[in-house]
Structure 1
Amino acid sequence: MAMNFRPTDDLAARLRKQADSEQTSVQVVLVKAAEEYLLRHDKTERINQALDVILVNSADALKRLGEGPA
């Protein structure tokens, strides 16, 4: 799949600098960044789904915990 990516001049310079420091290409840096971004957001989504289940299944217990001692 072909894609166009048009970074600002500053971002392009920073990408080239990073690629040079890693002795790789800008494309490799961008692919790694995209993979890390997607992994991070996938993990966040799974955590949010788990929290939704906990909130639904434990609503009464969480409410009692919030009320403190009787």
Structure 2
Amino acid sequence: MCQGTGLPEAAKGHAGTAGALTAETRQSLGLTLRSIYEGSIDRQPLPDEQVELLLRLRHKERDRRRSGE
């Protein structure tokens, strides 16, 4: 890891510093990725494991609300 950056050594620039994206580049990249994946992700069903996890969470939240009343 690059000391103090949390980046792997491979992310070092030529001068030994970690390279960084500008805010404009990050925003552009984010918008592009959203436009690519937005439609495809919405059409995919949730895996059974995630559905079960969500149901367990809902039950725990309900139980906590009941015990707090």
Q: Same fold (TM over 0.5)?
A: no
TM-score with structure 2 setting the length: 0.31
Q: TM-score, normalised by structure 1?
A: 0.31
Normalized per residue, the structure richer in helix is 1
